[in-house]
Structure 1
Amino acid sequence: MTTSTMIERIDGQQQELAIDCQALTYSWVVGTDPVLTDVDLQLTKGDRCLLLGANGAGKSTLLRILAGKKLTQTRCCKILGQDVFMKPPGGVVYLGTEWSTNPVVRSDIVVSHFLDSVGGYRHKERRDRLLHILDVDLDWRMHQISDGERRRVQLCMGLMTEWDVLLLDEVTVDLDVLVRADLIEFLVSESELRGATIVYATHIFDGLQTFPTKICHMQLGGTPRGMVAWPPAGNPSDKLDLFSLALGWLREDKVLRKQKEESKGRVRGPKTDTKDRVTFYQKYDYAH
């Protein structure tokens, strides 16, 4: 039985795949080099997947495709058995960094009114639980609070309904250590008690040692390692270091990226030719 039937065999049992993404290739413009190539991501209900990779590896693009925010030419991405763009399923929540740049969330509006405007009053029990976890004051005014506090409001807003699949893209970067730890504990309980599936892209590994059940390494727009179980069979997580694993992969990514760019005549870092510098200062003469 193959994943095309959306069934995965685990310990002799059959489980329906919550996320089934196979051989996904995607380009910003048709005919140009793809930013994603043959990406595979299969997760069962209750999985917590850590999405690792260097900046520009394609993590955000993949998450936005899974969230149904980008049209792909092939129907190779399904969530809960439905095409993510043509027939997006309910129960999917995507939380990304672009939310904080929306002028609406920086306007003069009280947090309690803001949450009610997206249905908070219908989910009072979960909303109140998240208000405690995220340490949110309902009397805050959105235009007066910090980026970290605004991020807490976003998380409360996005998580207060019961979701089946959660897609997180670097949304904990603004949180302090305590709030982030309490949030991670909440997410683990959601996956264990309700069977919710989580894909979490982050570069911050503090407190994540026991969070993932699977790891997906994105490398230059692909997933060469496939799905890596965490901890690996026969190796308890306390014997392994998630940070060291990620660091090793990222160093490997940098070498491969450098080789790829050099083959196309591109080089990062300082240049020995000073022409650009001279041209710059001739164009912008600061003496006058």
Structure 2
Amino acid sequence: MAADPPVSGKPVFRFAPSPNGRLHLGHAFSALANEALAQRVDGRLLLRIEDIDPVRCRPDYIDGIIEDLDWLGIRFEQPVRRQSAHLADYAAALSVLRVRGLVYPCFCSRQDVRAAVARRESEVGRPWPVDPDGAPLYPGCCRGLAEADASRRIGAGEPHVLRLDMARAAILAGGDIGYEVFDADGRRRFVRAQPARWGDVVLARKDVPTSYHLAVVVDDALQGVTHVVRGTDLEAATDIHATLQRLLGLPTPLYHFHELLIDAEGRKLAKSRSSESLATLRERGVTAAMIRQRLGFG
């Protein structure tokens, strides 16, 4: 899979929201951080719409994202990449992993996984390990399923996901999987990835033929992204991304993880908690200049 080189050798940054709600102050901070760091190194700034979820993502939210970012005064290069228009790119990457024997079908529902974990905990007499997001690691129920049996069940239309065999992936990827992190002054440090702590992550579902992890890795490569600036809530997930980049022969960008904005109760701002949107702030008379000043970009 060929990746586009940066145009004129310039650094390439991207802001990549999902259109499953209106943007809030946390999104504004991340977008402005990307803008500021790109300007500091005379870099390019791209906008990507991560709309692979056909249920939660809506066209009116895409319009809202464009409206909010335009109101903030952030200018992005055109055209804007929408993930839903590039499913073939993710299918090609998934095919590479399949050929290498790194992907297997899993027919377990969430309830099946919970039941399997409960059985394992009862057997070993201690809590089952969890991933960095706090979810129980997949116990591998379908990992050893015979190919003929799996093909029969897929042919019968049984719902399934495709998981990455992380143990095999670690072997084929080799040692020293990691990535470089840069700070606001440009200093770098190497971070060794720990993909095993995520277990056999899902790379595709029947209704969504890719996952955030796979799509973001492919997009960054195809768009020639050199610098990824995002919140600390995605820092641990970079273990998975660096591993997929190694397996797919893709470049690994430099990463910068900014702090998250929190609400009065100490929780990060989130659409799922109906954090106050930029649109609501705008309706109350708050200006873009006030937002920039409030977030430290005035």
TM range (shorter): under 0.3
TM-score normalized by structure 2? Answer: 0.27
Indicate the structure (1 or 2) with the bigger Cα radius of gyration.
Answer: 1
Q: Identify the structure with the greater helix proportion.
A: 2
